[in-house]
Amino acid sequence: MKEVNSQSGGCFLVWTLAVQLVLCGRGVYTSDITKRCGLVSDSNSERKVLERLEPLAHKNFSVVTKEDKGSYTYTFQLCGEAAGFPEAGVVQVDSKSPTKSTIIGRFNSTRVIGGSDWVMLIYENGDAYDGHCSKEKRKAIIMISCNSKIGMGELEVVLEDRDRAHDCFYLFELDSSAVCPVVPSQLSTGSIIVIIGLCLLAVYLIGGFLYQRLIVGAKGMEQFPNYAFWVEVGNLTADGCDFVCRSRNREEAPAYRGVAAEPLEDEPEERDDHLLPM
Ligand SMILES: *[C@@H]1O[C@H](CO)[C@@H](O)[C@H](O)[C@H]1NC(C)=O
Ligand SMILES: *[C@@H]1O[C@H](CO)[C@@H](O)[C@H](O)[C@H]1NC(C)=O
């Protein structure tokens, strides 16, 4: 009885661990950084797309551009202060005079659109243009594309389109595996069941072994749990094979079986006697 109790206790433990493992595997990226982004039109579908970007959180992505008028550093951060500038999702800093900074987009005014292997993140409400674009507010578009080989790629500037009357924007590109289509499942249900089965087998073998060795005091092969039973199973299997495969000498098999079975059947009783004082 004691053996059964300790083994079912072990099974319960393994089940709990396995279930937790599966749940943990699903919830690795449920930190809340993307909640810091304010969506212009708060919709659940946009939130879902935004959550796909979670692996990119907590990182300043920077790129330096050289134009005829000067050199600028653009920094992008996901739902956080880019390069430390309050409210800035994308900020442009003049390399010659680092105090001259322009916020291209604020993360409290975010829009996001996503497809199977890309996400387009738009930060609006940046600093207003001085002369271009009807003095509208600047806007940053970050196009994040799937690249399964790159966890977090380099930020690249594609263009600044400001020679138009309305809807000017800065366009950036970034490669990341975060937006790649989710592989159906790293662990299929079948393999989880196999893993749980192996765990249970291990618990059975180790628990049974310890029980036989420490409590029953068995030695040698007898230390295997339910040794007699498994020997009998082995013998029956061998008989089965013998029956199916052998083409002659069928008569000898029953005698062999009888000899093997007799001493084995006695043993469990001996062991039970041993148990009684406990
Ligand atoms: C981004 O850069 C700024 C300025 O260098 C720094 O204060 C901030 O901690 C950085 N953020 C992250 C998440 O590394
Ligand atoms: C975002 O922050 C700016 C600056 O504080 C503010 O003017 C603007 O109204 C905010 N936008 C939203 C949508 O909260």
What CATH number does the domain containing 55 carry?
2.70.130.10
What pLDDT is stored for residue 231 in this prediction? Answer: 87
Compute the distance between CA of residue 201 and CA of residue 153 in angstroms, rounded to an integer: 44
Whether residue 162 lies inside any domain: the answer is yes
Kindly give the distance from the C-alpha atom of residue 99 to the centroid of ligand 2, in angstroms, as a whole number: 22
Of 18-27, 88-97, 229-238, minimum mean pLDDT range: 18-27
Of 219, 234, 249, the residue that ends a domain is 234
Whether residue 120 lies inside any domain: the answer is yes
The answer, yes or no, to whether residue 26 has pLDDT greater than 90, is no
What pLDDT is stored for residue 115 in this prediction? Answer: 92
Which of ligand 2's atoms lies nearest the C-alpha of 109? 13
What pLDDT is stored for residue 4 in this prediction? Answer: 45
Q: Is 113 in contact with 49 (CB distance < 8 Å)?
A: yes
pLDDT digit string, tens, across residues 201-221: 999 989 888 888 888 888 888
Whether residue 248 lies inside any domain: the answer is no
Average pLDDT on 259-276 reads 52
Compute the distance between CA of residue 15 and CA of residue 21 in angstroms, rounded to an integer: 10
Average pLDDT on 255-261 reads 52
Residues 25 and 54 placed together within one structural domain of the fold = no
Residues 58 and 145 placed together within one structural domain of the fold = yes
- Determine if ligand 1 sits within 6 Å of the CB of residue 226: no
Residues 4 and 23 placed together within one structural domain of the fold = yes
- Determine if ligand 2 sits within 6 Å of the CB of residue 110: no
Whether residue 44 lies inside any domain: the answer is yes
Residues 84 and 8 placed together within one structural domain of the fold = no
Whether residue 263 lies inside any domain: the answer is no
Kindly give the distance from the C-alpha atom of residue 84 to the centroid of ligand 1, in angstroms, as a whole number: 5
What pLDDT is stored for residue 185 in this prediction? Answer: 65
Residues 24 and 56 placed together within one structural domain of the fold = no
**Quick one: what percent of the chain has pLDDT higher than 70?**
77
Residue 195, domain extent: 1-30+190-234
- At residue 27 the predicted structure's pLDDT band, cuts being 50, 70 and 90, is very low
Residues 40 and 162 placed together within one structural domain of the fold = yes
Residues 24 and 60 placed together within one structural domain of the fold = no
- At residue 256 the predicted structure's pLDDT band, cuts being 50, 70 and 90, is low
Residues 175 and 39 placed together within one structural domain of the fold = yes
Q: What is the mean pLDDT of the chain?
A: 81
Name the token pair of 40: 């212009």
Residues 58 and 19 placed together within one structural domain of the fold = no
What pLDDT is stored for residue 1 in this prediction? Answer: 44
What pLDDT is stored for residue 249 in this prediction? Answer: 64
pLDDT digit string, tens, across residues 127-179: 999 988 999 999 999 999 999 898 889 999 999 888 888 899 999 999 999 99
Average pLDDT on 96-115 reads 91
Residues 107 and 218 placed together within one structural domain of the fold = no
Whether residue 274 lies inside any domain: the answer is no
What pLDDT is stored for residue 230 in this prediction? Answer: 86
The answer, yes or no, to whether residue 225 has pLDDT greater than 90, is no
Domain count, the chain: 2
- Determine if ligand 2 sits within 6 Å of the CB of residue 137: no
What pLDDT is stored for residue 88 in this prediction? Answer: 93
Q: Pick the residue with more confidence: 10 or 202?
A: 202
Residues 43 and 25 placed together within one structural domain of the fold = no
Whether residue 261 lies inside any domain: the answer is no
Residues 214 and 144 placed together within one structural domain of the fold = no
Whether residue 20 lies inside any domain: the answer is yes
Which of ligand 2's atoms lies nearest the C-alpha of 40? 13
